[in-house]
Amino acid sequence: MTAETRYYDPIVYVVPPEDDGMLLKTVLHRRLGMSRKLLSRLKLTEQGITVNGERRYTTVKLAAGDVVEVRMEAEESDDILPQDLPLDILYEDEHLLVVNKEAGMIVHPTHGHYVGTIANAVVHYWRERGETHRFRPVHRLDQETSGVLCIAKNPYAHQQISEQMQAGTVTKLYCAVVHGVVAADGGTVDGPIDRDPEQPHVRIVTPNGYPAVTHYEVLERYERHTLVQLRLETGRTHQIRVHMKHIGHPLVGDKMYGPPGGAELPPPFPRQALHAAKLGFEHPAAKRRLEIEAPLPADMRELVRTVRDIEPVQG
């Protein structure tokens, strides 16, 4: 005897008059934005796609007032060990979970780091609430970067936000403290990024790399450091850290891309001073804009206070 299949709550679309006579597959593509890969998967599911409560071929013509429902099978991350770890939840509904990641936590278990990750904490949180989801982060943050992290609860939500990221319509704002006084009030770093051939775990700006664009704005200048806001146009690995080093202003506390010999503040900052402050995107189901913010964490607030105390604010 097999266990009963569990489904997420359906995505519902009531056919408006202007879609009268439209094919079901066209509505699913154009109105709900479902990928061909997801639709192929849903067709194999017993209750995947229904019209007025009945399974129909996607080539059927719809009439105004028809109720289209899409149901996805509930999934679990069986390979992730649930752990009772603190989570700072910024936003949650049936499609998304957005958390404020603390510095030092890895997002997903990797070789040598099977516990103590955001994934372990999220899987435990869902199980305690009786929810069944596969852990699907729609983007990543470096271990030592804090801030907004979005996790999709189903394949449709993941697909929708991933497509927005590829289209460049997702807003990703960061705050950082960097070495040196940034002269311009703002600017753009347009520098392709790829692996360093001599150190594969390190990224460098190179003409033959993958396109990478970072916009920056000065928030406050000090005698030897600058507080900046950064907006990512692309999302390459270590992009902000690589780009700021490239223009001569590496992040405070960045052990991989920081200045030779450290040149750190007294006392030294234990991580790269980088915080994902804001994430903006269109909600995958509600189709409304979401802007989710995470306040500057205590360690970076203290860093800014320390810099202000020992270095005069510049004009």
Residues that are catalytic: 142
CA distance 177 to 254: 10
Query: Position 291: which residue type?
Result: E
* Three-class secondary structure of residue 162 per DSSP: helix
Joined tokens for residue 130: 């009786």
Phi, psi of 25 (to 5 degrees): -65, -30
Give the count of alpha carbons within 13 A of 22, CB side only.
20
Strand 146-152 and strand 274-282: the pairing is parallel
CA distance 313 to 298: 21
- Single out the residue of 10, 70, 6, 5 nearest to residue 41, CA to CA: 70
* Three-class secondary structure of residue 233 per DSSP: coil
* Three-class secondary structure of residue 210 per DSSP: strand
Instruction: Please report which helix (H) or strand (E) contains residue 291, including its range.
Output: strand 289-293
CA distance 231 to 144: 18
CB-CB contact of 151 with 98 (8 Å) = yes
Contacting residues for 53 by C-beta, under 8 A, at least 6 apart: 67, 69
CB-CB contact of 137 with 153 (8 Å) = no
CA distance 252 to 180: 10
